[in-house]
A and B are shown apart, each in its own frame.
Chain A
Amino acid sequence: MRFTITREKLQEGLAAVAASIPAKTTLPVLANILVETTEKGIRLSGTDLDIAVSTEISADVETGGAITIPAKKLSEIARELPPAPVRVASSGEQRVTLDCGRAHFRLLGLPRDEFPSFPSIKFSESWRVRSGELQKLISHTAFAVSTEESRPILNGVLWELRPDMMRMVATNGHRLAKMQVPIKSSGMPSADLIVPPKALEQIRRLFPADEELEIARGENHLGFRSPFTAVYTRLIEGPYPNYEQVIPKDNDKVAIADKAALTSALKRMSVIASDQTHRIRMSFNAGMAKFSVQTPDLGDAQDELAVRFTGDPLDIGFNASYLLEILRFIPTDEVRMTFRAPERAATLEPEQWSDPAQYLCLVMPLRLVD
């Protein structure tokens, strides 16, 4: 194998694949990147066996071939190379040399045969989705997944594909984020997929917003493909809990607040809130939301914010961190909050959002100690 590539292209390809390389592994070849020559250049691939990323970049190929090269060292070398074409050549199955300007490197790789094969997925039957729509769903929901290993289903994002819309839902049992966007009918059957958030993060990062992606399902894997890049991920098996059942439909108290002002007030209260529970009290009545926090051995704080509130007055406790996290993803200047009772779930939605997407977050309150 022998090819020449620009330093920038090499760096770009390595950056795309590097995130799929495990930091620690008991299988040495997984710490390597597979480099293969193609008709148009070279293909770089990496995997941690849960997620696999493969990307094609242009290069001048003199002799075809394939080898695996230690990913971390190759990335470090690429970062430090001078601005000149990089000549890569392999000799035998395990040795590779890199020459750039007057710099010369010799690396010990591993044979291509040791690299695991990617999941077999047929893209002939695939959903077609615009990457930007997918990125919007991912960035507004994936933050809410559970990191608790005892409930693996909640470690994934539910992705519901329907003929006319797609929806993503994530929850950790204390907060939930749900977004749906309309899509053009693809003629493909409906599907419910539970996808690890790490894979979705790769999708969000790797594919430009205006690109159309082909998405296809294998036996227990999902593949995303654009003309140059492909991502494969293991799916989480099992039925996702019936999230609709926990979304309140009868919340009868509504508060509409300025998102930035609400965020600021919550941040101020967080300073005095307990480091453990971040518990704050919010008291709503006509036209006003009062915030208060009292932490033994530290002190107390109060604040007020003008809101548009309808319904009976309400005192409710929240983990301020959960509220602040959700507010980060509300795409409008104002946020609409709904409540029923101090021990019932509250919802947060964008107010006056002109986007065709629908977005709702749910947050569980905390009991007020007094």
Chain B
Amino acid sequence: MSVAEQRAFFKSIRDRQFAPVYYVHGEDDYLKEDAVKQLVAAVVDPATRDFNLEIRRGNEIDAGTLASLLDTPPMMADRRMVVVRDVASLKKDARAALDRYLARPSADTVVALVTTGEAKADKKLESAAGISVCFDPLGDDRVPKWIEHQAKELGTTIGERAVALLHETVGNDLPALHAELDKLASYATGREIDESAVTAIVGVRHGETLGDLLDAVLDRDAARAIELLPHVLEQPKTNAVTVTMALATQMLAVAWARALRDRGTPMGQMYNELFGLLKESGGAFTGRSWGDAVKAWTRGVERWTTPQLDRALSLLLATDCALKESRLSSDEQALATLVLSLCGLASQRSAAA
């Protein structure tokens, strides 16, 4: 993702110096959608919006309609806007009509060509567009700033610790974060959103997150893990299966790092190795930010032996299977047993030592 591209995109909106054609691509649909919304709001006069805004999907528009949309001047307004979503799915003749237009775009029409999902960037469209902008998922380092910015957009501010708590709880899921911020803004009614507001609305307190539970298990602190469990299970989008998934990811990562260590990889390299693993895996559910997860896993490498990790993974598999069987009477009970067993494995090691 190019920050410079995004700056140019938003500058054109701020300065109202619109490019005739925008190519909006990248893997984060939420960010792309938000960017196009901002562009539409700036380009189209609200009074004649119904007459001067056309939003179509690539696979639903034929060549003739597209050519007509692109060649129609604005109706009693300075500008008109045509948004083509999922532009990669344009049929051949429609794409040809688009290419003909791109060779000589009109000055009073703004065209936004938007990709869907993980579609690869189209080099031809990239070079034909006045502004090409990529929106890939935000990394951990950018999400806190994004939260602050969204809070501002909602007419409020949010404290640093509240940002951290919200990020830790919800993760990098931008639509979910936006939904929580929306609720928090209503709750705060003009005041700064603080940690207590996040606790009240999102239902989580510092020290009671899924990340804290994962740390407690990794640190073999059975009492703390058991104490945290009911609080964690009460949190939104959290249940016994998601907790098991996060524990499994953690134990697999630590086992993988343990194997590296046993083969002589220095501890100094471990953080980068684990981060690389996460990047490769793509969608692994870590239960917290990648940075926090990798830090914790690096710390755990020296605390867990290979046999203990093998046993831990077997226990996790058994719990996962049990959770998916309907005859289980209490998910929390199954998790508590798992957590105690995992912590107990470490105690056995301590006792043996």
A residues within 8 Å of B by Cβ?
A: 148, 150-151, 153-154, 171, 173-174, 241-242, 245-246, 248, 274-279, 317, 319, 343-345, 364-367
B68 touches which one: A153, A245, A277 (CB < 8 A)?
Answer: A277
- Asked if residues A364 and B73 are in contact (CB atoms below 8 Å), the reply is yes
Residues of A within 8 A of B67 (CB): 274, 276-277
Residues of B within 8 A of A274 (CB): 64, 67
Least distance between A326 CB and chain B CB atoms (Å): 16
- Give me 16 A-to-B residue pairs in the complex whose CB atoms sit less than 8 angstroms apart, sorted by A's number: A173-B50, A173-B51, A173-B75, A174-B68, A241-B49, A242-B47, A245-B48, A245-B76, A246-B51, A248-B76, A274-B67, A317-B71, A345-B76, A364-B75, A365-B73, A367-B106
Cβ-closest chain B residue relative to A275: B64
Q: Is there a chain A Cβ closer than 8 Å to B37's Cβ?
A: no
Cβ-closest chain A residue relative to B61: A148
- Asked if residues A241 and B73 are in contact (CB atoms below 8 Å), the reply is no
Residues of B within 8 A of A151 (CB): 50
B residues within 8 Å of A by Cβ?
A: 47-52, 54-56, 62-64, 67-68, 71-76, 93, 97, 106, 108
B48 touches which one: A246, A277, A343, A367 (CB < 8 A)?
Answer: A246
Q: At the interface, is chain B mostly helix, strand, loop or mixed?
A: helix
Cβ-closest chain B residue relative to A154: B50
- Asked if residues B76 and A246 are in contact (CB atoms below 8 Å), the reply is yes
Cβ-closest chain A residue relative to B69: A174
Known interface pairs A241-B51, A277-B64, A343-B108; A364-B76 also in contact (CB < 8 Å): no
A248 to B72 Cα, complex, angstroms: 16
Cβ-closest chain A residue relative to B54: A173
Residues of B within 8 A of A174 (CB): 68, 72
A275 to B74 Cα, complex, angstroms: 23
Cβ-closest chain B residue relative to A362: B75
- Asked if residues B50 and A366 are in contact (CB atoms below 8 Å), the reply is no
- Asked if residues A366 and B48 are in contact (CB atoms below 8 Å), the reply is no
A345 to B75 Cα, complex, angstroms: 7
A278 to B72 Cα, complex, angstroms: 13
A151 to B62 Cα, complex, angstroms: 18
A1 to B96 Cα, complex, angstroms: 64
Residues of A within 8 A of B71 (CB): 277, 279, 317, 366-367
Residues of A within 8 A of B72 (CB): 174, 364-367
Across the A-B interface, the 9 shortest Cβ-Cβ residue pairs: A276-B64, A241-B50, A343-B73, A246-B76, A366-B71, A367-B71, A277-B67, A246-B75, A173-B51
Number of A-B contacts (CB under 8 A): 64
Cβ-closest chain A residue relative to B72: A364
- Asked if residues B56 and A150 are in contact (CB atoms below 8 Å), the reply is yes
Least distance between A110 CB and chain B CB atoms (Å): 36
- Asked if residues B50 and A153 are in contact (CB atoms below 8 Å), the reply is yes
Cβ-closest chain B residue relative to A248: B76
A365 to B52 Cα, complex, angstroms: 14
Least distance between B66 CB and chain A CB atoms (Å): 8
Contacts A171-B51, A242-B48, A365-B72 given; 4 further ones with Cβ under 8 A? A173-B51, A276-B62, A277-B68, A367-B73
A365 to B108 Cα, complex, angstroms: 14
A124 to B64 Cα, complex, angstroms: 50
A151 to B72 Cα, complex, angstroms: 18
Least distance between B111 CB and chain A CB atoms (Å): 13
A276 touches which one: B50, B51, B97 (CB < 8 A)?
Answer: B97
Residues of A within 8 A of B74 (CB): 343
Least distance between A223 CB and chain B CB atoms (Å): 28
A248 to B76 Cα, complex, angstroms: 8
Residues of A within 8 A of B52 (CB): 173
Residues of B within 8 A of A275 (CB): 64
Residues of B within 8 A of A153 (CB): 50
A246 to B63 Cα, complex, angstroms: 27
A248 to B73 Cα, complex, angstroms: 14
A278 to B64 Cα, complex, angstroms: 8
Q: Which of A148, A150, A274, A277 gathers most chain B CB within 10 Å? A: A277
A241 to B63 Cα, complex, angstroms: 28
- Asked if residues B106 and A241 are in contact (CB atoms below 8 Å), the reply is no
Least distance between B70 CB and chain A CB atoms (Å): 9
Cβ-closest chain A residue relative to B49: A241
Least distance between B192 CB and chain A CB atoms (Å): 36
Least distance between A249 CB and chain B CB atoms (Å): 10
Residues of A within 8 A of B62 (CB): 276
Cβ-closest chain B residue relative to A242: B47
A95 to B64 Cα, complex, angstroms: 52
Residues of B within 8 A of A279 (CB): 71
Residues of B within 8 A of A344 (CB): 73
Residues of A within 8 A of B55 (CB): 150
A240 to B62 Cα, complex, angstroms: 27
A317 to B67 Cα, complex, angstroms: 13
- Asked if residues B48 and A241 are in contact (CB atoms below 8 Å), the reply is yes
Least distance between A255 CB and chain B CB atoms (Å): 19
Residues of B within 8 A of A246 (CB): 48, 51, 75-76
Cβ-closest chain A residue relative to B55: A150
A41 to B75 Cα, complex, angstroms: 54
A204 to B240 Cα, complex, angstroms: 61
Residues of A within 8 A of B76 (CB): 245-246, 248, 345
Residues of A within 8 A of B48 (CB): 241-242, 245-246
Least distance between B57 CB and chain A CB atoms (Å): 9
Least distance between A367 CB and chain B CB atoms (Å): 5
Cβ-closest chain A residue relative to B96: A276
Cβ-closest chain A residue relative to B109: A367
Least distance between B99 CB and chain A CB atoms (Å): 13
Residues of B within 8 A of A278 (CB): 64
A248 to B75 Cα, complex, angstroms: 9
Cβ-closest chain B residue relative to A366: B71
A248 to B74 Cα, complex, angstroms: 13
A241 to B52 Cα, complex, angstroms: 11
A366 to B97 Cα, complex, angstroms: 15
Cβ-closest chain B residue relative to A344: B73
Cβ-closest chain B residue relative to A151: B50
Residues of A within 8 A of B73 (CB): 343-344, 364-365, 367
